[in-house]
A and B are shown apart, each in its own frame.
Chain A
Amino acid sequence: MRAFLVIAYVDPSAGSLLLQLLLGGFAGLAVALKLGHRRVRAWLRRRFRRSGDPDVSGEPRR
């Protein structure tokens, strides 16, 4: 425990603490989903190109 520790005197309800975890978690989840979404799109694009359609992305083919 640090020497300068000051106790927060406001009594936080358990619900207010839990909700913050939930919100923090949800935001994390949203970021994860967004990333996941990007990955899925990239994968689809690769599949799409393999099917012989012209490449409009400008990215090198793998």
Chain B
Amino acid sequence: MIIETVPVIEYTDISIPNAGDIKYFSFPSVDVGYAASDTNFIYKTIDGGKTWTAIKNSNWDSYRQCKGIAFYDELNGFCLIGGTGYSTKDGGTSWTVSNPGYSGNSTVAFCGLTSSGVGIIGRYERYGYMSIYYSPDKGKTFNFFDQIFIPGAIDVFGGRVCNEFITVFTNEMSGNIYGIPYSITSATNQLEFDLSATAKDFYTVDNASGIAVGEDGCLADCYSAYINYNHPIHKYEYYSIDGRNGVVVAVGENTIVSNIDIGSEEEWNHVLDVHGNGFAKTFFMIRFSGDREFYISGENGLIWKASI
């Protein structure tokens, strides 16, 4: 008799030795991947993570951490370092500044690719405005698309490109958080999700719903403006969430959780390793590469190729 069903992940450790915390990565193919540590290095693998090579650009020396990385394919991609966007068309061998309109008064907050392959950069412009730029030429240049206005926001610290939507976060407005799914094809569908904790990531399900994760174990279904339902199962901090075809996984400090159906619909459960142990690591990012396959990055160069 089956007494319980346990969500587990199997993973292959493809971590980068002596690297810092890996907060961003992009795997355009099974073999080729790029990962950004909290130093000014980007690491590249061409053998599925067996070996990694550090990519360093002299322009990056005076900056600190990478704020995002996105690759269209094995050769073409862009990254955000020190508030500036850089693009490459040769797999990281050379990089050029891709946002010449950058004034120095704004802060690049996030970047990503839509599911249809449009490169997005989000830049905070003060006073609650987040400017959205899109790239028509695989990251070489970025054009202004629209602005998202968050009333009263002093700091807009992040955002997420998920599926065909853009979401930005702020921790202002009396501690409430506003995530805004924002269609690149229609700038009129702007929603606010009023959470009770600081959001760190947002997985957009459609143009009216998604799942937010954040501090204090915040894991909230957001169905429509101002309506959300929290799933508190611990108080660790979440950093990232992603999913595909209904299976969603969130990661964070000492935690991996999933809504994978084990008999209780819409229940979130702790995910364990195949030996039944939890995880005593901090994970910063998760991105699905298949229906049940995904990559996870974390502290001290951690990168896992995993499946659930």
A and B: partners? Answer: no
Spell out A's residues near B (CB within 8 Å).
Answer: none
